[in-house]
Structure 1
Amino acid sequence: MKLKVTLLSVFTTIGITAQNIQNNPGSNHGNKFEQLGTILPTPNIYRTASGSPGHGYWQNKADYDIKAYLDEDKRNLKGSETITYYNNSPDDLDYLWLQLDENEQSTVKKADYASSSTLPSSTSDQQLKTTDLPVKDNGYGVSLEKVTDASGAPLSYTVNKTMMRIDLPKALKKGEKIVFTIDWNYNIPNRIKMGGRGGYENFAEDGNDLYTITQWYPRMCVYSDFHGWQNHQFTGRGEFALVFGNFKVSMNVPADHIVGGTGECRNYDQVLTADQLARYRKAETANEPVEIVTLDEAKKAEKNHSKQRKTWIFEAHDVRDFAWTASRKFVWDGMRVVIPENNNKVMAMSFYPKEAYGLYRKFSTKAVAHTIKTYSEFTIPYPYPVAQSVEAANGMEYPMICFNFGRTEKDGTYSEGTKNGMIGVVIHEVGHNFFPMIINSDERQWTWMDEGLNTFTEYLTEEKWDNKFPSKRGPAWTIVDYMKLPKNQLEPIMSNSENIVQFGPNAYSKPATGLNILRETIMGRELFDKAFKTYAKRWAFKHPEPADFFRTMEDASGEDLDWFWRGWFYGTDPVDIAIDKVTIATPDMDLPPKETKELQYTVEKPLQNSFEDISKIKNREDKNISFYVDKDKEAQDFYYRYDRGQEKVDANKQYTFKAEGNSALDGKEKEKFKNITAYQIDFTNKGGLVMPIILEFTFEDGSKLYDKSSAQIWRLNEQQVSKTYYFDKKLKSIQLDPMRETADIDTSNNFWSFDGSNAQVSKFQLFKQKQGAGATRGASNGRVNPMQAAGGK
């Protein structure tokens, strides 16, 4: 069935954005270089002005003991969890907030952040459904069975869409902990059809499912010094704010399933065959991936659906979340990785169905190893014992485990785009172990703090994987098409996750590009890398906010970057710097010498104020005020008396002063400067976003020179500036931003060629300055002063 209009769905842009306040908005200078000032939160004992955690910094903690039962026939997950929640805040807590993310799959329990919709131009019979009003319950979402305290007594709770509030029988005071239990279950959605980050994928050809169990248990919200409870609804986009803790998780699954999860499995000896366990032990010391579950074993397992069951037990420490995967389809390989910075021995592992074997067997585990080693260089040493990649036809991250895409054709071949996409998504999702799994930002509010910082570090890691890797996010030139968009399609990076129209460019690409510009063009690699590592070290296993990042980058580098944060993160202006005009001049060296002149002058009159202001009058009338020079006669010098008319000086007497002239250049000096040409280059800031001015000069002899003026060249005039250069050979052309490193959206105005039609040459006078012609501060340069005129008193 076809309909003749276009499908359109957009998100509203009304919502939380950080305001770009300007003190002097009508001016042509200064605004872009103002300090962020009150735009940033006031420093306090929790977060300092330097960007580091303060001496009063605190964060709460939650430990989980979870038992899960995967019913493959009913595609239902049943769970029971005991949470131990520690209140380290200075506040008494009367209630707790938890996240019920699976409610987003429900038609009646979801957050219901509706989007605009219009008629499609075409649709399929599967997509076309009658609008049911009132909305019917589709059977998905969390079903809570009981919520009890440690003694088994029921706790009062309220569910608000994707959030759950538990009311405490008494306030949880500072330093106290509470233990409570929640039993629940939910129907596992088909994530290929329904979307979402967790669920099952069915392989019709062999009748098996691949489960990605994520956001699957009631999870504690963050209670923080900067937000209180972060209980904003989960809409499927803005991700998570989570607390650190320890996990013990038991997963009861069909006996022929292979399970991977956050942390370390504590009972491989009970769930693996003897051969698989031996291969795992071999992988623990291997430098190349070892198949722990082989392709042949996975193919055989696909054909037999066991009715027996096994329980896998995992533990993880100092993590903010727990996710797992299960399927009988999995091939599983692994190898050891040693992180040089802390000598941490990590098991890098991959799980994948046969459909991905041709790509994942070659690249996945090696990409995992490369990622945690490279990120460790740029941030902090990877601290966990495991890092895992799971092929699940998507891209999503959790501590120590992530889900990625990348399948071959049935004959085992693949395109280069699929290969690069698969390597890129593995690097990206494994990299999320650092941002935000360890450097634990609030994803629900600031997507860029995990996706942007991670995409930037992903770019650095892709570059170290293959110098020809076709990275789509990071290089400055790749953001240009986004920056060209009309302003009504843009919003600042500093916007709430739910209110962004162009989500990928805004939350991933633009912040990643900005950091790369800082590193390559503005700060330099050494300075940037030290500051970036400082941020990672300061906020590892803590909850940073944007101001903590901005302040740390400046504090650790000594660079004032407020102009950059203001323009790139708080604004939507693009970079468009244009070469408007080039004025050429050669020296006029045939000047007649300027003779020494005699000038007539009189001595200076007294320098006391010509108007008696109110302060002076009141000070004289105040009998309690005495003046130093009245008490100390030694301070009453000639000028004390001169100002009061007590010294007589002839103010009309004419004196003569000789003003030195300039002399012409001699022959040798003319020879030295005969080839000098001056070039004044006029630039206009058409885009509005200030950036360094980077120039490549090409001369008629084919040689080249480069120059870079920092962005501060615009500080006194943000619209137009000029730069003058003196060269002893003729220019052929000038190229602005030759390496396309500033994200300039219009390169057509970045080039100037001296082809004769625009080469109007003028003259500038060049003379020889006489020695001693410069003034000396405090001396009269031969002029008579009043003290001399009075006889040197």
Structure 2
Amino acid sequence: MFMKKHYALLGLLMAGNLAVMAQNNPGSNHGNKFEQLGTMLQDPNMYRSASGAPGPKYWQQRADYDITATLDDEKQKLTGSETITYYNNSPDPLTYIWLQLDENEHNPKSDNQHFDPSKMGERMTMRQVNGILGNDADMGVHIVKLTDASGNALPYTVNQTMMRVDLPKTLMPGEKLKLKIDWWYNITDRMTVGGRGGYEYFKEDNNYLYTMAQWYPRLAVYSDFQGWQNKQFTGRGEFALTFGNFRVSLNVPADHIIGSTGECRNYKEVLTAAQFQRWQQAQTAKEPLEVVTLDEANKAAQSKASGRKTWVYEADNVRDFAWVSSRRIVWDAMATNVEGKKTMAMSYYGPEAYPLYRKYSTKAVAHTLKVYSKHTIPYPYPVAISVEAANGMEYPMICFNYGRAEKDGTYSEATKYGMIGVIIHEVGHNFFPMIVNSDERQWTWMDEGLNTFCQFLAEQEWDNNYPSQRGPAHKIVDYMKMPKDQLEPIMTNSENIAQFGPNAYAKPATGLNILRETIMGRELFDFAFKEYARRWAFKHPTPADLFRTMEDASAVDLDWFWRGWFFGTDPVDISLDSVKWYRMDSKNPAVENKVDADAAGFNAEHIAQKRNREAGIKFAIDQDTSLQDFYNKWDRFAVTPAQQEAYTKFTSSLSPEEKKLYDSKKNFYELSFSNVGGLVMPVIIEWTFTDGSKEVETVPAYIWRKNEYKFTKVFAKDKLVTAIKVDPYRETADINEGNNMWPRAAVPSRFELFKMEAPVRGASTGGNPMQRARQ
């Protein structure tokens, strides 16, 4: 395994070994956090350059598909036949190939059905109970026939979700291979069994919504950095797939409507005349136009038609293919201009989602395409689809989201923003990883984290007050302060992550936002991030390619940041330990004598003095004035002629530069900081002055390079300072704001009593003021 996989060192950098492997200078207070990543990244070569760009001999495989599939709406069964043309563009001769049979994750014999711990609770969902009971259902892909182009049977071996096909003749570099597969499987109830694809049953009208994903045998990736990606699909780590062209014929009940990856080649044959006319009108529509109306969807759901139809779709240069089919869906569409190219933004949704999806979905699709295109590459595909399916999952040109209203048509604010957010997120996956095609099975964060970061950008451009939950630095604090034994680095394999959402989505998204706003600045970051997307569009990047490109295109050394934020589990906790105020000795006796008096405490009243005076005590020297002498009347801090003469001599001897500094009356503040959390970060300081004005300045992270645990720095200010605050805008995910202030101030915490209930995903959640207002 180690010898086979060139990226093995990256894969081994898990929590247990990471601290030791990352230390260049163990036991020292420096020489560790700012050292270059070095051997922690795979070596550059002719396939991947040291700049982070594809090398001069970069290559990748290709797989084209011609598929015919039949959906049985009575038995919830899918039957298919496909021809795959596989192109060996690698320099390696291949004696076998690997295909993915992802539906086998539901096979009772697959490891993923047994390797998760379980326990009983007072309240159990059907999915939890099924996980304990197991199942003996006939789930998983049945291979009926597998042959070469001439019809000769090919030997194959199925290992859970992977299938190896042994080739009768070595597939040499530059050659191509055709194989044909006939197969079928029983479609799972996605709402009770789980999984990315499947069906949802609607009891009220006895209909099904089919979201068909991972539904056909498909080629695994063979790449320069790992060979075959044949790690099993266990339901979490998603898919590494090969680009190719698709022609797909889908035979479904005659009254079903299909939305799919690619473009339909026979709308005129499968739509009614009225629907086809609306489709043509949508080509220039500026607002979403219903191609299939709500009334048509409701009528179809109540009175099922007989017969069948075949929808034909084609898609070029995509890595996957998915589709939705049902008789109970509305379909709306709108032409969208994305950087000079027309794209059809479309949505498919049931009556229960109509109040939300009709208003927001297609416009959210269009908005996502525009914002992502601005920050990455122009969206290249002809369509982009959002489907309401009470879940969240993505495929080229189509995604499945949630967001349903109450029966009275109202919905909560949480449901509204949750729906818009998931649409942006899933549509955004077209860019990461459908176009910039990272390996989701190995590095979930390259898919989810980069996309969540872009989702945050799109949310904030949707509404300046958008309640984004992932992206702002302070939102990740609760995760970062967890015990180390409950954490793992971002650079961790998908199946080994304990807190999946915070680790693979929120932390990398937050890190990129910190890079953009705090460390690099928007101009440098945006150029470099766009360059990464441009370089690796329709290719297979690794983490090293991202890390190197971001530095290569910005001239900003970020190895310390990747090392800490991506390879480590330390949090940010920068403490302002002490503040010392210095001012220049003016030599002016009229000023300095008073300062000396104050410092000596001659002008300070102690408690006994105060209380004796208030008690009316008659003091001895007042009752008997003979006790008084010279010293009772002497002002020891009065200006003497000698002092005045020395001051005049001093000021006259100052050079012009010294005189300028002397006249400036600067205040010098010596601040001491400690790195309590361990993760280095720029130090952002907000100064508040006696006149109420404020000033913010940033000390670069490199301040920690000579001592990674402590530093002291002096700041010169024209005005007197009354307060100092570190990280005033909460930019760095500092987990303890209590030690960020001078003078110290208490930071309040809150608690509440609540009873958690888990609603059905997609249903309206949270308070519903809209409903209460109607009442």
* Equivalent-residue separation in structure 1 for 2:407 and 2:161 (angstroms): 40
* Equivalent-residue separation in structure 1 for 2:308 and 2:492 (angstroms): 47
- Checking the alignment, whether the CA contact within 8 Å between 1:379 and 1:536 is kept in structure 2 is yes
- Checking the alignment, whether the CA contact within 8 Å between 1:733 and 1:754 is kept in structure 2 is no
Deviation at 1:67, TM superposition (A): 0.2
2:569 aligns with 572
- Checking the alignment, whether the CA contact within 8 Å between 1:589 and 1:665 is kept in structure 2 is no
Deviation at 1:469, TM superposition (A): 0.4
1:560 aligns with 557
- Checking the alignment, whether the CA contact within 8 Å between 1:16 and 1:496 is kept in structure 2 is no
1:535 aligns with 532
* Equivalent-residue separation in structure 2 for 1:87 and 1:372 (angstroms): 33
Task: Check 1:167–1:687 CA distance in 2 against 1; reply closer, same or farther (3 A cut).
Answer: same
Deviation at 1:368, TM superposition (A): 0.3
Task: Give matches, 1:449-598, under 5 Å.
Answer: 449-590=446-587
Task: Give matches, 1:321-332, under 5 Å.
Answer: 321-332=320-331
Aligned mate of 1:351, from 337, 348, 354: 348
2:224 aligns with 225
Deviation at 1:743, TM superposition (A): 0.3
Task: Check 1:167–1:411 CA distance in 2 against 1; reply closer, same or farther (3 A cut).
Answer: same
2:159 aligns with 160
Task: Check 1:414–1:17 CA distance in 2 against 1; reply closer, same or farther (3 A cut).
Answer: same
* Equivalent-residue separation in structure 1 for 2:342 and 2:127 (angstroms): 49
Deviation at 1:131, TM superposition (A): 6.5
Q: Percent identity?
A: 65
- Checking the alignment, whether the CA contact within 8 Å between 2:127 and 2:194 is kept in structure 1 is no
- Checking the alignment, whether the CA contact within 8 Å between 1:111 and 1:161 is kept in structure 2 is no
* Equivalent-residue separation in structure 1 for 2:741 and 2:355 (angstroms): 48
Deviation at 1:165, TM superposition (A): 0.4
SS in 2 for 1:588: coil
Deviation at 1:666, TM superposition (A): 3.7
* Equivalent-residue separation in structure 2 for 1:555 and 1:549 (angstroms): 10
1:3 aligns with none
Task: Check 1:406–1:732 CA distance in 2 against 1; reply closer, same or farther (3 A cut).
Answer: same
- Checking the alignment, whether the CA contact within 8 Å between 1:678 and 1:725 is kept in structure 2 is yes
* Equivalent-residue separation in structure 2 for 1:38 and 1:240 (angstroms): 27
Amino acid at match of 1:562: D
TM-score calculated relative to the size of structure 2? 0.84
Deviation at 1:254, TM superposition (A): 0.2
Task: Check 1:123–1:288 CA distance in 2 against 1; reply closer, same or farther (3 A cut).
Answer: closer
Give per-residue Cα distances to partners, 1:190-248, cap 9 Å, x unaligned: 00010011000000001100000000000100000001000000000000000000000
SS in 2 for 1:305: coil
Give per-residue Cα distances to partners, 1:254-285, cap 9 Å, x unaligned: 00000010000000000000000000000011
2:301 aligns with 302
Give per-residue Cα distances to partners, 1:449-502, cap 9 Å, x unaligned: 010000000000000000100000000010000000000010000000000000
* Equivalent-residue separation in structure 1 for 2:130 and 2:183 (angstroms): 31
2:238 aligns with 239
2:602 aligns with none
1:424 aligns with 421
Q: Is 1:17 the counterpart of 2:13 in the alignment? A: yes
Task: Check 1:125–1:558 CA distance in 2 against 1; reply closer, same or farther (3 A cut).
Answer: closer
1:698 aligns with 688
1:729 aligns with 719
* Equivalent-residue separation in structure 1 for 2:371 and 2:664 (angstroms): 54
SS in 2 for 1:155: coil
Q: Is 1:677 the counterpart of 2:667 in the alignment? A: yes
Task: Check 1:744–1:126 CA distance in 2 against 1; reply closer, same or farther (3 A cut).
Answer: closer
* Equivalent-residue separation in structure 1 for 2:325 and 2:444 (angstroms): 29
1:688 aligns with 678
Deviation at 1:591, TM superposition (A): 9.5
Task: Give matches, 1:90-101, under 5 Å.
Answer: 90-101=91-102
SS in 2 for 1:44: coil
1:150 aligns with 149
Task: Check 1:670–1:431 CA distance in 2 against 1; reply closer, same or farther (3 A cut).
Answer: closer
- Checking the alignment, whether the CA contact within 8 Å between 2:106 and 2:113 is kept in structure 1 is no
2:204 aligns with 205
- Checking the alignment, whether the CA contact within 8 Å between 1:368 and 1:427 is kept in structure 2 is yes
Matched length: 669
Deviation at 1:65, TM superposition (A): 0.2
SS in 2 for 1:31: coil
Task: Check 1:131–1:741 CA distance in 2 against 1; reply closer, same or farther (3 A cut).
Answer: closer
Amino acid at match of 1:65: D
Task: Check 1:126–1:157 CA distance in 2 against 1; reply closer, same or farther (3 A cut).
Answer: closer
1:313 aligns with 312
Q: Is 1:744 the counterpart of 2:734 in the alignment? A: yes
- Checking the alignment, whether the CA contact within 8 Å between 1:283 and 1:336 is kept in structure 2 is yes
- Return the structure number with greater helix share: 2
Once superposed, what is the RMSD of the aligned Cα atoms?
A: 2.0
Task: Give matches, 1:252-267, under 5 Å.
Answer: 252-267=251-266
Deviation at 1:730, TM superposition (A): 1.0
SS in 1 for 2:33: helix
SS in 2 for 1:318: strand
Task: Check 1:27–1:336 CA distance in 2 against 1; reply closer, same or farther (3 A cut).
Answer: same
* Equivalent-residue separation in structure 1 for 2:462 and 2:131 (angstroms): 50
Amino acid at match of 1:17: L
- Checking the alignment, whether the CA contact within 8 Å between 2:290 and 2:333 is kept in structure 1 is yes
- Checking the alignment, whether the CA contact within 8 Å between 1:238 and 1:444 is kept in structure 2 is yes
Deviation at 1:585, TM superposition (A): 1.5
SS in 2 for 1:683: strand
* Equivalent-residue separation in structure 1 for 2:130 and 2:522 (angstroms): 55
- Checking the alignment, whether the CA contact within 8 Å between 1:339 and 1:345 is kept in structure 2 is yes
* Equivalent-residue separation in structure 1 for 2:477 and 2:159 (angstroms): 42
Give per-residue Cα distances to partners, 1:97-135, cap 9 Å, x unaligned: 000000001112454560222333443689657966xx7
Task: Check 1:229–1:565 CA distance in 2 against 1; reply closer, same or farther (3 A cut).
Answer: same
Which is worse superposed, 44-53 or 115-124? 115-124
SS in 2 for 1:439: coil
SS in 2 for 1:665: helix
Deviation at 1:23, TM superposition (A): 1.3
* Equivalent-residue separation in structure 2 for 1:709 and 1:494 (angstroms): 28
- Checking the alignment, whether the CA contact within 8 Å between 2:738 and 2:744 is kept in structure 1 is no
* Equivalent-residue separation in structure 2 for 1:50 and 1:714 (angstroms): 26
Q: Is 1:73 the counterpart of 2:94 in the alignment? A: no
Give per-residue Cα distances to partners, 1:679-715, cap 9 Å, x unaligned: 1000010000000010110001111111101100000
Deviation at 1:16, TM superposition (A): 4.3
SS in 2 for 1:535: helix
1:384 aligns with 381
Task: Check 1:298–1:129 CA distance in 2 against 1; reply closer, same or farther (3 A cut).
Answer: closer
* Equivalent-residue separation in structure 2 for 1:468 and 1:673 (angstroms): 47
Deviation at 1:665, TM superposition (A): 3.3
* Equivalent-residue separation in structure 1 for 2:130 and 2:576 (angstroms): 57
- Checking the alignment, whether the CA contact within 8 Å between 1:269 and 1:277 is kept in structure 2 is yes
Deviation at 1:723, TM superposition (A): 1.5
* Equivalent-residue separation in structure 1 for 2:75 and 2:224 (angstroms): 43
Deviation at 1:719, TM superposition (A): 0.6
* Equivalent-residue separation in structure 1 for 2:653 and 2:221 (angstroms): 79
* Equivalent-residue separation in structure 1 for 2:42 and 2:128 (angstroms): 47
Give per-residue Cα distances to partners, 1:550-570, cap 9 Å, x unaligned: 000000000000000000000
Amino acid at match of 2:521: G
TM-score calculated relative to the size of structure 1? 0.82
Amino acid at match of 1:747: E
* Equivalent-residue separation in structure 1 for 2:345 and 2:683 (angstroms): 44
2:86 aligns with 85
Deviation at 1:753, TM superposition (A): 2.6
Larger radius of gyration: 1
Q: Is 1:60 the counterpart of 2:46 in the alignment? A: no
Q: For structure 1, which runs of at least 5 residues remain unmatched after alignment?
A: 1-13, 593-662, 756-793
Q: Is 1:719 the counterpart of 2:716 in the alignment? A: no
1:643 aligns with none
Amino acid at match of 1:501: A
1:759 aligns with none
Give per-residue Cα distances to partners, 1:741-786, cap 9 Å, x unaligned: 000000001110399xxxxxxxxxxxxxxxxxxxxxxxxxxxxxxx
Deviation at 1:667, TM superposition (A): 9.5
Task: Check 1:754–1:500 CA distance in 2 against 1; reply closer, same or farther (3 A cut).
Answer: closer
